[in-house]
């Protein structure tokens, strides 16, 4: 029997805070890209956050495996994690932060498809396939519809390239979820999994920045504040809080609330960065969000119906 409880006011409040932090993530990277490449910033923040997570593991007296099968799976999860954020960093060069946050949060669609294939208990219902079709139609519309005056500075082709990279980032995130859910990583503490991801991302992303000639770092106040925010608020506190919520509350319900993030991202991109919002992208975004909500909310609806049926049967 699932010991996790339904969401309450505490969970809702924490989810609003987490989603705001996650929505600010690409905006902070975009606004400080002139001082350091986004990929380099993500690599540095991952290293700082990895040290913070390792400190917690040590304070708890836990033993972490650095060699062997579990560590190997952790490194693989870290590789996918690094791929996700490499795509995000590159996408921010070509498209808006609001576009990045919307396409990145297609991850649940990719995760649902992967889990459907790997786990019998995660088979998609017919309604969820409809949701995937709606989301796919939204993505296609956002890509293929004429973009009016909302083209990025580098032109429509550059913007679509950036959108595509962000979508690949969402796919990498979804694959990371599948890997964690279907291997022994699901049985170890979340802090260990997070450390593997952050440490691997630090090595790969900082190395990629150096290899790509993007190691320039101008230590301005905005950049240093953003890296501190990205490391401590995004990669450390928000991820740990999210994992804690998953141990206490039902994941399907939390997943529904997590889709405040792309909504916040679009709004904040307009308010803080002055990014344009074309009707075409708005329609496509609506399709993506509706489709993802259908896929994510269906298990919650099923649980509520089962609960009501059980109550009716006992009365």
Structure tokens at 49: 């956050």
pLDDT at residue 153, rounded to an integer: 46
Banded pLDDT at 312 (limits 50, 70, 90): low
Range of the domain at 221: 9-306
In a domain, 1, yes or no: no
In a domain, 153, yes or no: yes
Give, in order, the Cα–Cα distances in Å from 256 to each of 52, 89, 253: 29, 26, 5
Q: What is the pLDDT of residues 221-253, one digit of tens each?
A: 999 999 999 999 999 999 888 878 877 776 656
pLDDT at residue 270, rounded to an integer: 86
Alpha carbons 3 and 20: distance in angstroms, whole number: 28
Inter-residue contact 68 to 187 (CB < 8 Å) = no
Inter-residue contact 135 to 292 (CB < 8 Å) = yes
Query: In DSSP terms, which residues pair with 5 in a beta bridge?
Result: 249
pLDDT at residue 105, rounded to an integer: 81
Banded pLDDT at 217 (limits 50, 70, 90): very high
In a domain, 219, yes or no: yes
Q: Largest Cα–Cα distance of the chain, in whole Å? A: 69
Mean pLDDT on 108-130: 77
Structure tokens at 97: 């932060």
Predicted TM-score (pTM) of this structure: 0.81
In a domain, 2, yes or no: no
Task: Between 222 and 9, name the one with better pLDDT.
Answer: 222
Q: What is the pLDDT of residues 287-301, one digit of tens each?
A: 888 887 777 777 666
Query: In DSSP terms, which residues pair with 217 in a beta bridge?
Result: 36
Determine the Cα angle at 266 with ends 260 and 271, to 5°.
120
In a domain, 313, yes or no: no
Check pLDDT > 50 for residue 93: yes
| Number of domains making up the chain | 1
Q: Among 19, 29, 3, which Cα is nearest to 241's?
A: 19
Residue 49: partners with Cβ closer than 8 Å, 6 or more residues away:
198, 231, 232, 234, 235, 236, 239
Mean pLDDT on 106-125: 76
pLDDT at residue 199, rounded to an integer: 95
């Amino acid at each position: 029997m699932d010991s996790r409880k339904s969401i309450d006011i505490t969970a809702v409040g924490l989810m609003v805070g987490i989603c705001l932090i996650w929505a600010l993530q690409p905006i902070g990277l975009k606004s400080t890209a002139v001082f350091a490449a986004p990929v380099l910033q993500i690599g540095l923040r991952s290293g700082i956050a990895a040290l913070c997570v390792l400190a917690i593991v040590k304070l708890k007296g836990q033993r972490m495996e650095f060699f062997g099968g579990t560590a190997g799976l952790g490194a693989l999860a870290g590789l996918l994690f690094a791929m996700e954020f490499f795509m995000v960093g590159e996408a921010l060069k070509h498209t808006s932060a609001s576009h990045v946050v919307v396409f990145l949060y297609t991850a649940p669609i990719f995760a649902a498809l992967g889990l459907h294939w790997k786990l019998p208990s995660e088979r998609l219902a017919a309604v969820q396939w409809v949701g995937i079709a709606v989301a796919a139609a939204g993505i296609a519309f956002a890509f293929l519809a004429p973009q009016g005056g909302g083209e990025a500075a580098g032109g429509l082709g550059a913007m679509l390239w950036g959108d595509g990279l962000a979508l690949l980032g969402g796919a990498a995130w979804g694959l990371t979820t599948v890997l964690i859910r279907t291997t022994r990583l699901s049985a170890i503490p979340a802090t260990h999994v997070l450390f593997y991801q952050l440490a691997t991302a630090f090595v790969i992303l900082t190395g990629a920045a150096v290899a790509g000639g993007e190691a320039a770092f101008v230590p301005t106040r905005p950049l240093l504040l953003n890296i501190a925010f990205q490391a401590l608020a995004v990669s450390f506190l928000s991820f740990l809080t999210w994992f804690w919520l998953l141990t206490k509350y039902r994941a399907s319900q939390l997943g529904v609330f997590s889709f405040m993030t792309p909504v916040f991202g679009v709004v904040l991109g307009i308010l803080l960065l002055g990014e344009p919002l074309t009707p075409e992208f708005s329609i496509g975004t609506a399709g993506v969000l509706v489709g993802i909500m259908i896929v994510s909310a269906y298990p919650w609806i099923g649980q509520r119906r089962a609960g009501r049926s059980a109550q009716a049967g006992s009365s």
